Copies of this chain bind each other. A is one copy, B any other.
């Protein structure tokens, strides 16, 4: 057996402690599977006195993550602090320069600085792995970089923020409005310190941008993701969508088109009986489409101590085994600059309109849709919603986002709507 792989772990929160526990519990299994011992030598976090759910007495404590990243007795630096800048980034760079490989779970950092870090690692002949950064325990990075290596990938989709999926699922099951469930989620500790990262779709978009880079051989381009969060999803739309056989999910889609790379994160309708539609609670799902393999669906826990630590360990074992992979599945220096394109791939759309309850209202709506070149697949008019308005649901045939934008801007000018029209894309899954 070769010499032990010596880990330095910075960050002893949910994920960091999860990693420590697995290394302690499965020392024998890990040694057998890696062909060498996996041992922790040094750890770091902010507060040395904090009570943590693991015995750390056998490891050297460092107040400064930089000391772990550059220590002589560390072969692999495991960054589990978080943050898209500052100490996480600085310490990873220092570790690479000190000749260490790196494992991280930090999607925010990779979404912002992934390309630079990959280039630095490549220059220095070091490896950065990050399976835990996207969809927690689901092996999506490995599947894309390795299992689909023989495929031209056409589209990547995913529900990759468990908190948003929890909120949407819970709104439906409990019949509660967004604000109430948001408050519940906050009290349950499901939300990030800055909830916009979750409900604003930012966290999920970090992940989508990373997957796009691998799928399409392009540099990570987080700024080009069209992002919409779940704040405007109403219980009304969830119910109406269910009536029509759909569920609403915060869905990320990345797709290479002739015009360029489309990346969008937005609440979408998906068929209630599709794998994505069936996904309830905090579970994540990623759907990958390759020209040879067809559609692959991966499902599992997207966050939490065990699943995320499991993904970190898979990276650690790969490095222990001597596997040296380019970060995004090919040399970073060869990644093309993505040509971002606004969403133009046609789709069916769902529209909810609150019409004045008077003759001719529907005719005016139909005429606007006709002018926009939108043809109607299904339409439902419900009984009066209030004294004066009736809800009308429209599912369109495939149409362009431009046509929908035109309709949404023009419809209020008909004077027959009592509130702003709602539209949601129906993603073909």
Contacts and interface: CB of A to CB of B under 8 A. Distances in A.
A278 B29 CA distance: 35
Interface string A197-236: 0000000000000000000010000000000000000000
Interface string A364-376: 0000000000000
**Which of A29, A151, A273, A309 has its CB near the most chain B CB atoms (within 10 A)?**
A151
The 5 closest A-B pairs by CB, nearest first: A150-B313, A139-B147, A293-B310, A149-B317, A292-B306
A307 B325 contact: no
Contact of A146 (B26, B291, B317): B317
Contact of A278 (B32, B143, B275, B329): B275
A137 interface: yes
30 contacts: A18-B292, A22-B150, A29-B150, A29-B152, A32-B217, A33-B145, A34-B149, A137-B293, A137-B296, A139-B142, A139-B146, A143-B143, A146-B314, A146-B318, A147-B310, A147-B311, A149-B318, A150-B309, A150-B312, A151-B310, A275-B299, A278-B278, A292-B306, A292-B313, A294-B300, A296-B299, A297-B299, A297-B300, A298-B298, A323-B323
B295 A300 contact: yes
A189 interface: no
Interface of A: 18, 22, 26, 29-30, 32-35, 131, 137-139, 142-143, 145-152, 217, 273, 275, 278, 290-301, 306-307, 309-314, 316-318, 321-326, 329-331, 334
Contacts of A29: 150, 152
B314 A148 contact: yes
B131 A32 contact: no
Contacts of A35: 326, 331
Contacts of A30: 149-150
A321 B142 CA distance: 14
B294 A137 contact: yes
Contacts of A290: 310
